[in-house]
Structure 1
């Protein structure tokens, strides 16, 4: 088991990718603090083994709450080994139709500030413990490519990539690794908003094999990245996108 007796904190844990990551960590012998904004959403974990998983309601835009989440992990399981900053939000809207307060600030606060808070709180705990650790941030293929209607989301994920690099450099002397994972088109509730826009089939074909990635497939990569097997991966973003960012929409018919 890759994560035997390791303790991980996962934010955005109740969502598609987050929940899949939690399940995979448990399957690999780890213990988890599954954290999300809504206590109601965390009820999806009610039937999970309580000796291996506890839940925590957290607003990642508030540093004090993120710090409390980290301390909760230590209180429950004795030590922190892994922080997965997965919480994220996004919406599809043309740039010139934005309400700056409603369409920029909330996404930036969760996707960018939330990751920053997780890095700082996790890094400080690793330093206090005097132990090595791993921080994994959820980025996106949109961190490196432009797209319509997702201005704020793209900008926030680009910031995640740079925070990953800078944090990895500063935390390296502590023996802490920091990396990120960039999913492509994953079949999650967030992506389902494109159904209402009539774009579901279009975005499916933007994957090289013209099928959506499953949350469980992202979880497989994420758990590898926080395991000792990925010890040489540091300060970079690993794309788990089925080639999304490497080609233009195919001309041929299916």
Structure 2
């Protein structure tokens, strides 16, 4: 208990799935939580669950692709909590299982806007705030195993998550003088609504994808949250520009 006691943690995409799991795990370790999402109903449910643990938390609707919204939401969180110590860039989407030969530009742009532009805006906005307030900080960008390896029928998703991986390394170099650490997390198959949506029309795809992993199961979101907690805490003080891979052995094969 208390591994992030008193730290103000800003989490995007907190309405469900991994974002909600991160919020609950960090709340249990003493964090004060600023949570955001573009889904108000799900966000309200997460806020209620977090507050039920006794944690200090507040929530704001937030479109991560909107530059002005980032400024307004981080300002609101800092007005409420006084500062921001940790950013978890969790918001992300997948896309239809479509060959690169058939993927439309609108779908490509939508995935890149949320998964890559949204992470950039978060790093820049929260990074500036951490720099100006002093005391360092931790930025955790949620990428994917598909930010390390390619996958059929997932070109935009792979491109966006690969962008997150290298943005993380570049940002780590830029922010190191301010004692702000920037790391990426690369989950494999996780039991979330996104996975269900991705595989809903694919028949045997779930088992086929699980067969790539050494551990032939999907992870519980809390198994990723354990790694996120480590990066948010001072236990990871000598880690920056790194990728933490939680993929059940996918990339070991």
Which residues of 2 match residues 55-134 of structure 1 at below 5 A? 55-91=59-95, 92-101=97-106, 103-134=107-138
- Let me know the Cα RMSD of the aligned residues: 1.2
- Cα deviations across residues 112-147 of structure 1 (Å, max 9, x unaligned)? 000000000011101221221110000111112111
For 1:197, the equivalent position in structure 2 comes to 202
For 2:18, the equivalent position in structure 1 comes to 17
For 1:176, the equivalent position in structure 2 comes to 180
Change in Cα spacing, 1:130 to 1:46, as seen in structure 2 (3 Å) is closer
For 1:145, the equivalent position in structure 2 comes to 149
- SS of the residue corresponding to residue 225 of structure 1 reads helix
Q: Following TM superposition, where does structure 1 have runs of at least 4 consecutive aligned residues deviating by more than 6 angstroms?
A: none
Is 1:216 the equivalent of 2:222?
A: yes
Alpha-carbon distance, 1:45 to partner: 2.5
Is 1:240 the equivalent of 2:241?
A: no
Q: Which moves more between the two structures, 63-72 or 26-35?
A: 63-72
Alpha-carbon distance, 1:46 to partner: 4.6
Is 1:227 the equivalent of 2:228?
A: no
Please list every run of 5 or more consecutive structure 1 residues that lacks an aligned counterpart in the other structure: 248-254
- SS of the residue corresponding to residue 192 of structure 1 reads helix
- Cα deviations across residues 34-78 of structure 1 (Å, max 9, x unaligned)? 110121221212523286111111110011111222112211111
Alpha-carbon distance, 1:79 to partner: 1.2
Alpha-carbon distance, 1:204 to partner: 2.3
Distance in 1 (CA, whole Å) between partners of 2:47 and 2:105 is 38
For 2:44, the equivalent position in structure 1 comes to 43
- SS of the residue corresponding to residue 42 of structure 1 reads helix
Normalising by structure 2, we get a TM-score of 0.94
For 2:166, the equivalent position in structure 1 comes to 162
Distance in 1 (CA, whole Å) between partners of 2:94 and 2:46 is 24
